[in-house]
Amino acid sequence: MTTTLSHSDALLHDPLLQAGRQVAEAEERREQQMRFLSGLAQGSPARIYAEHVLSEIERSIALSRMHEELIQNLLG
């Protein structure tokens, strides 16, 4: 009997797919944050905090990409 995995099941069982999804989700969060930032006044406390959040998102993307690359290297 052959079973096929649904997309969500495949995601749970494929670390490279999971890592790619994490990168894509973080990139989407970055785009959302950039749109949000564009509506805030320069130098305002809200903008300063939003810029901090954006820098943390950027850091998350870099780490997620490194994680994805590590998995690719391990899987060869």
Domain regions of the chain by residue span: 30-76
Residue 2 has pLDDT above 60, yes or no: no
Work out the pLDDT band at 10, boundaries 50, 70, 90. Answer: low
**Rounded distance, CA 21 to CA 15, Å?**
10
**Rounded distance, CA 67 to CA 45, Å?**
33
| Confidence at residue 76, expressed as pLDDT on a 0 to 100 scale | 84
Work out the pLDDT band at 3, boundaries 50, 70, 90. Answer: low
Task: Read off the pLDDT of each residue in 37-46 and give the average, rounded to a whole number.
Answer: 96
Q: What is the pLDDT of residues 51-68, one digit of tens each?
A: 999 999 999 999 999 999
Q: How far is CA 40 from CA 31, 43, 49, 67, in A?
A: 15, 9, 11, 33
